[in-house]
Amino acid sequence: MPTVIASGTQSATVSTEHSLATDTTNKTYVLVVDTNAMANGDVLELRLKTKVLSGSTARVAYTGVYSNAQGADNANKYSIPVPANQSIEATLKQTAGTGRSFDWALLAL
C-alpha cells in the first residue's frame, strides 16, 4: 500500500521549476500529478531527482513531458517507480501556455 510522503496543489509560473517535495528516506517513489487543467498550447515537465551518495549532486532520474489538453479520462500522470537510497526531489515545470494549478502527490511504495 503506498504511503503519501507529501501532497498539495502547485500554481505553475511558466518557465519556473517548482520544487514540490524532497525526502531523504531509503524508499521507492512515484510522483502523481493531475493534468486535467491543461489546455492546448500548454507544456508540462515532471521530474524526480536523486543522489547516488549523501554528498552527491541531485541528478534527474525521471522526466515526463506532457503537451496540450489531457482530458479527464487520462488526467492523472504517474512516474515510473524510482528507488532512492539518499534523497529524492520531485519538481514540476510548465514551459509553455498559461500557468495552471496542478494537484500532486509524492508516494512511497
pLDDT of residue 77: 98
Read off the C-alpha cell for 96: 509553455
pLDDT at 102: 98
Q: Could you tell me if 38 and 97 are in contact, meaning their C-beta atoms sit under 8 angstroms apart?
A: yes
Mean pLDDT, contiguous 10-residue spans, the chain (109 residues) = 97 98 97 98 98 96 98 95 98 98 98
Q: Class assignment of domain 3-108?
A: mainly beta
Cβ atoms of 21 and 106 within 8 Å: the answer is yes
